[in-house]
Chain A
Amino acid sequence: ELKVEQNPLFLSMQEGKNYTIYCNYSTTSDRLYWYRQDPGKSLESLFVLLSNGAVKQEGRLMASLDTKARLSTLHITAAVHDLSATYFCAGSTSGTYKYIFGTGTRLKVLA
């Protein structure tokens, strides 16, 4: 059964710095999703990665997928305070309807 692990669980970083959040998964999951959640709010879809080598970018966030390593990364470039949130990755096995979520990475960007 698919398991999804994220690290780090907490991340406190200075504005202007770069950092990467890692998402490992246990079995075949050639679909990987990234979501953002602000405190007390719902989840917002950021990226859908559909194939090995996929890379997507939106503003200061860039996500990539390596299906051979069973790894997805969310890279933050020159962080700003507005990026403070909890970020979740989720995997889904082809042919099923289940999305399995990681435990989330709580990001705090300090001014």
Chain B
Amino acid sequence: NAGVTQTPKFQVLKTGQSMTLQCAQDMNHNSMYWYRQDPGMGLRLIYYSASEGTTDKGEVPNGYNVSRLNKREFSLRLESAAPSQTSVYFCASSVDRGWNQPQHFGDGTRLSIL
């Protein structure tokens, strides 16, 4: 009963390095999301994918790219990491059409950029 799985759980990067955060869900959900959580700011939506083959920008997309590889997987890429991207990143999924079902969240990736 895995739900939403994120890898890695922790990562430290140097400024300018790149990396990809992975997310996979096994609930046959159509919609997937990436959020960042910073102290005192709640969760802010970075990108989302309403269905396989589509992606859209959220509130804070600058500095990030995403790929909806297939129905199960949605990855988030930092091309050139900056200290301002130090945060906890959560992936989430929901059944269909998003708005009348709760989201299911992964355990998060704690990312530090030095």
Contacts and interface: CB of A to CB of B under 8 A. Distances in A.
B7 to A, nearest CB: 14
Interface in A1-38: 9, 31, 33, 35
B66 interface: no
Contact of A103 (B40, B99, B104, B106): B40
Given A42-B105, A43-B90, A97-B31, A50 B100 contact: yes
A42 B88 CA distance: 10
Contacts of A97: 31, 48, 50, 56, 97-99
Contacts, number: 62
Nearest to B38: A103
B41 interface: yes
Contact of B99 (A9, A42, A43, A92): A92
B34 to A, nearest CB: 12
Contacts of B45: 98-100
A111 to B, nearest CB: 26
Contacts of A9: 40
A48 interface: yes
Contacts of B41: 103
14 contacts: A33-B103, A41-B107, A43-B105, A48-B101, A90-B43, A97-B99, A98-B58, A99-B33, A99-B103, A100-B45, A101-B43, A103-B40, A103-B41, A104-B42
What are the 3 A-B residue pairs with the smallest beta carbon separation, nearest first? A45-B102, A97-B98, A103-B42
